[in-house]
């Protein structure tokens, strides 16, 4: 999990309880920020893995996830 993914998870899990915003802290340590080159490698691999997981019918070009 990256630094950005960690904070996205916190914001995504926020909810309004009796007029007060409440966020539950994930049970992981806060990751350190990656250097630009490390982030490029990490997100490129993550995106490639996602694209491979998408099944495309080449005759109709329909996508099924």
Per-residue pLDDT of the chain (65 residues; tens, 9 = 90+): 888 888 888 888 899 999 999 988 778 888 888 899 999 999 999 999 988 888 776 666 676 65
Q: Which two tokens stand for residue 9?
A: 């998870």
44 and 55 inside one domain: yes
2 and 27 inside one domain: yes
Number of domain units in the chain:
2
Taking the complete model, does pTM exceed 0.75, yes or no?
A: no
pLDDT of residue 63: 67
3 and 29 inside one domain: yes
39 and 29 inside one domain: no
43 and 59 inside one domain: yes
Say how many CA atoms lie within 13 Å of 53 toward its Cβ. Answer: 7
1 and 28 inside one domain: yes
Question: From the CA atom positions of the chain, what is the Rg in Å?
Answer: 17
Domain range for 9 is 1-33
pLDDT of residue 64: 65
29 and 4 inside one domain: yes
Contact yes or no for 64/55 (Cβ under 8 A): yes
pLDDT of residue 53: 82
């Amino acid at each position: 999990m990256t630094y950005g993914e960690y904070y996205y998870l916190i914001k995504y899990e926020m909810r309004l309880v009796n007029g007060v915003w409440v966020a539950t802290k994930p049970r992981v340590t806060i990751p350190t920020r990656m250097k630009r080159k490390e982030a490029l490698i990490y997100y490129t691999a993550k995106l490639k893995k996602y694209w491979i997981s998408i099944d495309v019918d080449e005759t109709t070009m329909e996508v099924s996830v």
